[in-house]
Amino acid sequence: MSRRLRRSSTSPSRPGRPRAVRRRLWAPLSLRSVAGQVFWLQVAVVLLLVVAAAVALVVQARRDSASDARHRSMAVAASFAQGPGVAEALEGPDPTGALQSRIVAARDQSGVAFIVVVDNAGVRVAHTDPTRIGVAVEGPNLLEQLGGVPGTDTAQTSAGRSVVSAAPVLSADGRAVGFVAAGITTGKVGDGVDRQMPVVLGGAAAALLLTSIGTALVSRRLQRQTHGLGPGEMTRMYEHHDAVLHAVREGVLIVGTDGRLVLANDEARRLLDLPADAGGRLVADLGLDAGLVDLLTSERDATDEVHLTGHRLLAVNKRPTAPHGGPPGSVATLRDTTELRSLAGRAEVARERLDLLYDAGVRIGTTLDVTRTAEELAEAAVPRFADFATVELLEPVLRGEEPGGNRMSRAAVRGVRTDQPLYPVGAVITAGPDAPVAAAVAGGRAVLHTDLTNSRNWALDPERGQDILDYGIHSLVTVPLRARGIVLGMANFWRRDTPEPFDEEDRTFAEELAARAALSIDNARRYTREHTLSVTLQRSLLPRALPEQNALDVAYRYLPAQAGVGGDWFDVIPLSGVRVALVVGDVVGHGLHAAATMGRLRTAAHNFSALDLPPDELLGRLDELVTRIDQEQSDGDASQITGATCLYAVYDPVAGSVTLARAGHPGPAVVSPDGRVDFPEVPVSPPLGLAGSLPFETAELQLPEGSRLVLFTDGLVEQRGRDLDDGLRRLADALAAGGGGAGPEETCAAVLDELLSERQSDDIALLVARTRLLAPDHVAAWDVRPHPEAVAPLRAACARQLAVWGLDDYAYPTELILSELATNAIRYGSQPIRVRLLHDRSLTCEVSDGSSTSPHLRRAATTDEGGRGLFLVAQFAERWGTRYTSRGKVIWAEQPLHGRAEGPMGGSAADEAQLAEAILDQWDDAV
């Protein structure tokens, strides 16, 4: 009984367990589930791919077998046709007997279906099928078709459809005497493919099986992930999504194409205060903001577009629903950004302030001009920070001096309007102890006036203060401009059109802005001071006025660089013999060092010119000086090397010639009297300080009277963005424009008008000299015989010449000077001896001889018979000296012509004669 009960209790469960297992196994394959649908779709796709792959493999196998058949048949035909004795057998009396056994052996060894040998007549002379021997080949002559080249084709043969390859048989002399054909039946080709079919089909079945298993595993996993949901289950899932939609903290609206509200979740109803029956109604009838209604009913998209609805700021995003599979219409999301907007506003203000500080740092201090820097501060503040901005600087600051006192000058005014009642630029402002300026300076911080109407101590002038209030200005921040612990001035920021007054954050920002500007202003002040000192030093070292002389009509221009004083210089130096030296030079660099070096070079050039050195020797002395300066200042630092260029020219109005030498300097320009402009070739030597032991070379030019000699520094013709050739071309055009009749002043003006740039980056020195000739009747010369008795006739001739010139009062001292110099030349010099008198602004006596010995003054003893004559010459002449030439030396003495009836020393001729006798009692000359 118990056994029956156990059997009856377990028997129902046994058939149920396999069914449950089968249901679990087949559940992923059911078409009712998403997983089943995916499984059968993938199986179908894989099956199609497997079938396609199998077909492709079969086709490829057949193609490969056919290709192999062609290659094999061709190899057999070609090798047999080229075999030894084949051509001779075809031409022999019994080709069949010679070749039949050979083709049978070749067929058996190669595995082809047949081999045929055909002669020139197209008759089969050998065939693996003996019944075909002697039978002619049907169709056209195959030898002519082959053309001596093997070929392959598929044809119907006695063995069936075959792949046939034919190769010509060539004799020793290259003639085709027949051909050999070998063939493989297509049935034999297909046998290879048939043998591969089981492998192909087995592989395809294995691939299908493996893919099905993999797809089943994927479907089972998908079944677990979707929980086997069917259509009903999916409906419930969307219902859950709808519940979630109404629970989110972001409003969602769906509007149809007809402008009616399709869906609004709970958050959207709360944010927009929608009525309960809003669904299905027109959006325009829901009492929403007009801008929001326009957005919801339009077709345009929106991203974080802010709309004011009631007391809320809503960020709205809107997109169409049609592209995403939904019905026509649009969906919009709403997000409350009221508090976020407030925080974002403050962040935006902070960002704008940072941008303004950055822009101010870039814009303020672009130049080293104090006034311009103050203007840049005002321009940076208006209108982004203030409606009006004014800057006052202490008067010493404007001059580049140390700050001091309480008198300030308004340096900059900037505003959104120009009719403001504020003090204009240039107005002097004196701050009293109660002024906001004094309070700001004393506290070291900005003074904030939120409402100007509640306080009047901000106004320096009550009447003007009332005008400011009447104009509408309502708020003010006064900030001291302090740099390196020194107050330089004040900056005032005013608001009129901006309704918000300045606050504490604005005051802090104003202090930061003023601090940055104050540093730039102080830098500009320091630069102004150094620049002023450099300019003052340079001006003091340059000629204050040109010396008086008649050889040249000279005009000049000197323009210091705007960026800093350089070392350009020029000079006009009168020399002996009515000659004039013109000098133009340029010291490398800018600043006090360049100006000081320029002064040393100019002084040295003056001193060397007093020695009557020729141009090449003078440049050699200057080169030695620059080298010593470098050695004193560089201390082994190559960056401190001075370096300088120079052009030195000596003009002789008697000969009408000019001798030039240059050291690294641009050559001169010459304008002839007819207006033609030339740049003569002058040998160029290295710059001063770099020549070493190299000698300097000179050039001599003959200049007609009225020619203009133009000397200049490189700053005139070389500029940033303009090369030297272009500068010289423009210089030539400017010189030629004035023609030959333009004077030096007009020439200087024309050249600068053409070549001067708006911002000069280098100094410019320009020297224009128009030549004159000393009239021939103002020159007298005599050759002197080397005998003492020749002095008396020389004195007589000198007296007669002075009488012709109307200089009788100068006869005695001139005869005395001339006799002493001539006697010295006769006694101590060598031939040729020559005397010359030059009548110009002074009376010049020159005695030249062929020796290079030079006399010098000394005190003569009481018992000496000689040694006093040269001292007498020095007393009667204003200047005297020795000039060396290539043929010897020239001793010269100049007497000023006062234009009065008196002696050259200011007294009467008789008094001066007595003075001469007294001097001769004590002094004489010696060599």
Q: Round to whole Å and give the CA distance between 622 and 646.
A: 9
The residues near 745 (Cβ < 8 Å, ≥ 6 apart) are 555
Low-confidence residues of the chain: pLDDT under 70: 1-39, 61, 139-149, 158-160, 186-197, 200, 218-236, 238, 246, 323-327, 339-347, 431-444, 456, 562-565, 634-642, 857-869, 898-927
Q: What is the DSSP letter of 764?
A: E
| 289: three-class secondary structure by DSSP | coil
Q: Round to whole Å and give the CA distance between 426 and 410.
A: 5
Q: Round to whole Å and give the CA distance between 816 and 794.
A: 11
Q: Count of alpha carbons within 13 Å of 386, Cβ hemisphere only?
A: 29
pLDDT at 9 (0 to 100): 40
pLDDT at 391 (0 to 100): 93
CA dist 7 → 2, 11, 15, 20, 637 (Å): 9, 6, 13, 21, 117
3-state helix/strand/coil string of 545-584: CCCCCCCEEEEEEEECCCCCCEEEEEEEEECCCCCEEEEE
Angle between helices 615-634 and 592-610 (to 10 degrees): 140
The CB density around residue 699, as the number of other CB atoms within 10 Å, is: 17
pLDDT at 280 (0 to 100): 84
Contact between 515 and 446 (Cβ < 8 Å): no
* Residue 654 CA to its chain's centroid (Å): 55
φ, ψ of residue 289 in degrees (nearest 5): -60, 140
The structure tokens listed for 471 are: 């104009």
| 84: three-class secondary structure by DSSP | coil
pLDDT of 220-278, one tens digit each?
A: 666 665 555 655 665 667 677 777 776 777 888 888 888 888 888 888 888 888 888 88
- Please give the order of strands across the beta sheet that includes 329-336: 261-264, 251-256, 329-336, 312-320, 302-309
CA dist 44 → 49, 203, 220, 636, 873 (Å): 9, 18, 17, 91, 134
Q: Round to whole Å and give the CA distance between 196 and 58.
A: 8
- Contacts for 300-305: CB closer than 8 Å, 24+ residues apart: 302/332
Q: Round to whole Å and give the CA distance between 798 and 895.
A: 15
pLDDT at 925 (0 to 100): 41
pLDDT at 182 (0 to 100): 84
| Residue 228, burial from CB neighbour count under 10 angstroms (0-12, 13-18, 19+) | middle
Q: Round to whole Å and give the CA distance between 53 and 789.
A: 139
pTM given for the model: 0.55
Tell which residue, 840, 843, 547, 551, has the closest CA to residue 705: 551
Tell which residue, 279, 305, 307, 282, has the closest CA to residue 292: 307
Contact between 272 and 309 (Cβ < 8 Å): yes
φ, ψ of residue 733 in degrees (nearest 5): -65, -40
Q: What is the DSSP letter of 300?
A: -
Which residues are 256's β-sheet partners?
Answer: 329
- Please give the order of strands across the beta sheet that includes 114-119: 124-127, 114-119, 176-185, 160-170, 151-157
Q: Round to whole Å and give the CA distance between 68 and 18.
A: 57
Q: Round to whole Å and give the CA distance between 502 and 473.
A: 12
Which residues are 783's β-sheet partners?
Answer: 834
